[in-house]
Amino acid sequence: MERSTIVRVHEGLHARPATRFVKLAKGFESDVELVKDGKAVSAKSSVKLMLLAVKENQEVTVRANGADAIEAIEALIGYLENPKAGLEDEDHQPTGDTGPKPEVKPATESAPASPGAATGLRGVAASEGFAIGPAFAHFPPDIAGQGRVLQAEEIAGEIDRFRTAVAAVQVRMDHALAQDSLSAGDRGIVAALRDIAADDSLTGEAESLIRGGNDAISAVITAASTIAADFSAVDDHYLNARADDVHAVGRQICLVLLGQDDVSLENIPQGAILIADDIGAWDLARAPLKRIGGVICGHGGATSHIAIIARSHGIPAVLGLGDQVNALRTAREVALDGNNGHVIIDPDEATRADFAGRVEAAAKERAGLTVFKTVTPKLADGRIIKVAANIGSLEEIEAAQEAGAMGIGLFRTELLFMRHMHLPSEDMQAETYAALAKAFSPYPVIVRTLDIGGDKPIVGIEFPDEENPFLGWRGIRMCLDRPDIFKRQLRALLRAAVHGNIKVMLPMVSDIGEVRQTRVLVDECAAELKAEGVPHAAFDLGVMIETPAAVLIAPALAREVAFFSIGTNDLTQYIMAADRLNPTVAKLNDVTNPAVMSAIEMTAKAGVAAGIMVGMCGEAAGRPDLIATFVRMGLTELSMSPASIQRAKKAIMAMAAEG
């Protein structure tokens, strides 16, 4: 017996909804399956359900076989269609789906350099803010399988041992969930881990390996790796991040099997910087977070639970340092800059004083700026200057909204391409861009087409070895040579434009032909979508002005596009011929150099003369000392990291007050 329906569960069957669905399904004797796109999985396993990656508004079928099949289908379809109805709130917690929304910048984003940065390390800026404190190295030993082949008569005993260990881990997690001290966000994260520990997928896989003669520890490690690999392969970044959770649960089971306690974070001193290769969300959520001054990890990225926890507790974090983290094992003191991913080992006196000052000043400033969140900055003549956000993932939407962003002035699509093991599908891209458009409607959302080159390779695109990747096959150049990739993105953008105010901008433009060729592709995509009967809408096409060539042809470009957005990060490096990532030429990499300022002015003049919008999305847009100059040049949109928005609004209001 089966029935199909459209899923109305917000954001689909992610962690908590999947668990609720499983709980409902387990209440029936019948075998119950959920079917999507011809693939059927047991509705009684939350891991399998999550891996089916069911999204909101997708069609699924519930199939049941048994005495209470009708009731099962009724209840499960009821949940899918109206998830809020009739649910007791089991854990008194939010969904735990996404946790607090992160504010993440790719590590390549330029920001004013921290002193001493040149001598330090660089990772992913995962949670903003500055910190300095004693180093607390946390490197628990790796757990290795015993690699023992069990005798037939040992197997039953080993399975018992394994089941006892799983039960002990579940009890521990239940106990942690019962603590009042756990915040709502962390509770959701621990609950998601408990669900994995309680799920048949991990335990079933491990048990079958033990039956095959593997010792319990080897079996848990192998089973966790297999399931983690399944999570990593799904076309969904939330599910990709669940791979870490599976490993964390596997580790807890192994520790119980070994009769060992995990190395504790309990004794971390006040204000210490926690340094680790990896920290399980389970460990971090239980740690005395108020005492942790900052977090530095070899592993982790934008959507890992460590990043989410750090952001939600306002703990600056630099993640994804890779093997470089080993250099910190013996550090005594560490300074970190979560705004641009810098880590400084044993800082000198000047750096220490500077960081201490930054930490204090940041706290004071944050408190004083919140009144600007809802302000719409206007000049004395009534003109509105839009202050928008630069973001690179959907998780940052809330941070941008919280800051008071008037739309998105730069959505960097690189992360979408970089964090998967394959190129993102058109559907996935369309969903992502549509979610963005809906979140900020009626404000515009400017999506930048893929801006990637050989310095940041991604799976699925072969980049040639280049002497000078910054002058090479990147951005619009690569996209026009790979219409298969580019058209997929343009089609997704046309589809998303139905849902809000999407604008599209092209990076690294240096020739007018690049705009014209793009228009031909956009028209082709629109014609294809029309023929296929797929809803789509036109979008404004603009260009980033970030090459000297674009500045010099700005008057001609302005006749062909709907807007300019000045990318000062690249424009500065190309005008000054000074690599933006090379600290030895950092002095030249200065946006206030008259050469760069006059390039900005020329661009603004050309845009204003043609009557198109001129904005800026490079880091300079958020500099309070430069904002008045840019506005006087004619810029009407400034887009920046969410953390800079309120400060920028204040600077514009100050201009208005001066008249």
Q: Please report which residue ranges of 564-658 form alpha helices under DSSP H.
A: 568-576, 594-610, 624-633, 645-658
Span 436-475, contacts to ligand PEP by CB under 6 A: 451
Instruction: Mark residues 401-430: x for contact with ligand PEP by CB under 6 A, - for none.
Output: ---------x-x------------------
CB contact at 8 A, 41 and 87 = no
Strand partners, 134: 333
Shortest reach from residue 546's CB to Mg ion, in Å: 5
Number of residue whose CB is nearest Mg ion: 570
The total of other beta-carbon atoms located within 10 Å of residue 468's CB is: 9
As a whole number of angstroms, the distance between CA 621 and CA 396 comes to 19
Q: Kindly state the DSSP code that residue 279 receives in the 8-state scheme.
A: -
Q: List binders of ligand PEP among 106-125 (CB under 6 A).
A: 109
569 binds ligand PEP (CB under 6 A): yes
**Residue with smaller CB distance to ligand PEP, 36 or 412:** 412
Pick 441 or 593: Cβ nearer ligand PEP: 593
Q: Which is nearer to Mg ion, 215 or 570 (CB)?
A: 570
Enumerate the β-bridge partners of residue 506: 543
Inter-residue contact 573 to 470 (CB < 8 Å): yes
Residue with Cβ nearer ligand PEP (514 or 570)? 570
Q: From 21-29, 51-59, 479-487, 544-552, give the range in contact with Mg ion by CB under 5 A.
A: 544-552
**Choices 19-27, 269-277, 566-574, 603-611; region in contact with ligand PEP by CB under 6 A:** 566-574
Question: 3-class secondary structure for 123-159?
Answer: CEEEECCEEEEEEEEECCCCCCCCCCECCHHHHHHHH
Residue 619 is a binding residue for Mg ion (CB under 5 A): no
Residue 363 three-state SS:
helix
Site string for ligand PEP, 570-589 (x = CB under 6 A): x-------------------
**Residue 304: CB atoms within 10 Å:** 26
* DSSP E strand stretches across 55-141: 59-65, 121-122, 124-127, 130-138
In the chain the first and final C-alpha atoms are separated, in Å, by 73
Helix (H) or strand (E) holding 445: strand 445-448
Give the pair of three-digit tokens for residue 445. 């959302």
Query: Which tokens belong to 567?
Result: 């990318």
At closest approach, how far in Å is the CB of 648 from ligand PEP?
Answer: 15
Establish if 19 lies at the interface with ligand PEP (CB under 6 A).
Answer: no
| 536 belongs to the catalytic site | no
For residue 483, whether the previous peptide bond is cis, meaning omega lies within 30 degrees of 0, is: no
- The span of 16-24, 238-246, 562-570, 585-593 binding ligand PEP (CB under 6 A) equals 562-570
Six token digits for residue 84: 């809020």
Selected binder of ligand PEP within 557, 617, 627, 633 (CB under 6 A): 617
* 396 interacts with ligand PEP by CB under 6 A: no
CB of 109 to ligand PEP, least distance (A): 6
Q: Which is nearer to ligand PEP, 32 or 566 (CB)?
A: 566
Instruction: Report the residue from 413, 568, 589, 644 that binds ligand PEP according to the rule CB under 6 A.
Output: 568
Helix or strand run (H / E) with residue 436: helix 426-440
For residue 313, give the DSSP letter.
T
Q: Is 618 in the site for ligand PEP (CB under 6 A)?
A: yes
- Residue 412 contact among Mg ion, ligand PEP, none, beta carbon within 5 to 8 Å by kind: ligand PEP
Tell me the closest approach of the beta carbon of residue 566 to ligand PEP, in angstroms: 7
What strands, in cross-sheet order, belong to the sheet with 59-65? 2-6, 59-65, 31-36, 39-42
**In angstroms, rounded to a whole number, what is the distance separating the alpha carbons of residues 41 and 356?**
54
Q: Smallest distance, Å, CB 434 to ligand PEP?
A: 22
The yes or no reply on residue 133 touching ligand PEP (CB under 6 A) is no
Is the Cβ of residue 20 or residue 412 nearer to ligand PEP in the bound state?
A: 412
Q: Which of 247, 305, 313, 342 is catalytic?
A: 305
Report what 122 binds from ligand PEP, Mg ion, none; CB cut-off 5-8 Å by kind: none
Strands (E) across 204-361 are located at 272-276, 292-297, 317-319, 333-337, 342-345
* Residue 98 binds which entry of Mg ion, ligand PEP, none, CB below 5-8 Å type-dependent: none
Token pair recorded at residue 261: 């306690």
Structure tokens at 443: 């404000």
Quick check: 293 binds ligand PEP (CB under 6 A)? no
Nearest to 386 by CA among 616, 589, 553: 616
Render 368-422 in DSSP notation, one character per residue.
Answer: HHGGGTT---B-TTS-B-EEEEEESSGGGHHHHHHHT-SSEEEEE-HHHHHSSSS
Could you tell me the two tokens for 239?
Answer: 């599910």
Query: With respect to ligand PEP, which residue has the nearer C-beta, 306 or 614?
Result: 614
Going by C-alpha positions, the residue among 316, 17, 425 that lies closest to residue 192 is: 17
109 counts as binding Mg ion under rule CB under 5 A: no
- 390 has which bridge partners? 410
* CA distances (Å), origin 162, targets 96, 204, 258, 283: 28, 11, 11, 21
Indicate which single residue of 293, 298, 567, 607 sits in contact with ligand PEP (rule: CB under 6 A). 567
Task: Check binding of 203 to ligand PEP (CB under 6 A).
Answer: no
Tell me if 316 sits within 8 A of 336, measured CB to CB: yes
| C-beta closer to ligand PEP: residue 277 or 570 | 570
Q: How far is the CB of 600 from ligand PEP (least distance, A)?
A: 11
The residue among 278 and 570 lying less far from ligand PEP, judged by its C-beta, is: 570
Q: Which of 570, 580, 617, 623 binds Mg ion (CB under 5 A)?
A: 570
Tokens 């997928």, residue located: 201
**Binder of residue 354, out of Mg ion, ligand PEP, none (CB less than 5 to 8 A by kind):** none
296 three-class SS:
strand
What is the C-alpha separation between 253 and 165, in angstroms, rounded?
6
Count of residues that interact with ligand PEP, criterion CB under 6 A: 11
Catalytic hit among 254, 297, 479, 617: 617
120 binds, among Mg ion, ligand PEP, none (CB under 5 to 8 A by kind): none
With contacts defined by CB under 6 A, name the span among 46-54, 140-148, 180-188, 561-569 that binds ligand PEP. 561-569
Minimum CB separation from ligand PEP for residue 574, in Å?
9
Phi, psi (degrees; rounded to nearest 5) at 137: -80, 130
Q: In the complex, what is the shortest distance from the CB of residue 573 to Mg ion, in angstroms, rounded to a whole number?
A: 9
Amino acid at 74: E
Nearer to ligand PEP, 264 or 592 (CB): 592
The phi and psi torsions of 133 (rounded to 5 degrees) equal 180, 175
Which is closer to ligand PEP, CB of 110 or CB of 351? 110
Kindly identify the residues of this chain, within the stretch 51-110, that bind ligand PEP according to CB under 6 A: 109
Most distant CA pair in the chain: distance in Å? 88
Answer yes or no whether residue 567 interacts with Mg ion by CB under 5 A.
Answer: yes
92 noted as active-site residue: no
Q: Does 339 bind ligand PEP (CB under 6 A)?
A: no
Of 109 and 199, which CB lies nearer to ligand PEP in the complex structure? 109
- Which residues contact Mg ion by CB under 5 A? 546, 567, 570
Binding site for ligand PEP (CB under 6 A): 109, 410, 412, 451, 546, 567-570, 617-618
Q: Would you name the residues annotated as active-site residues?
A: 305, 617
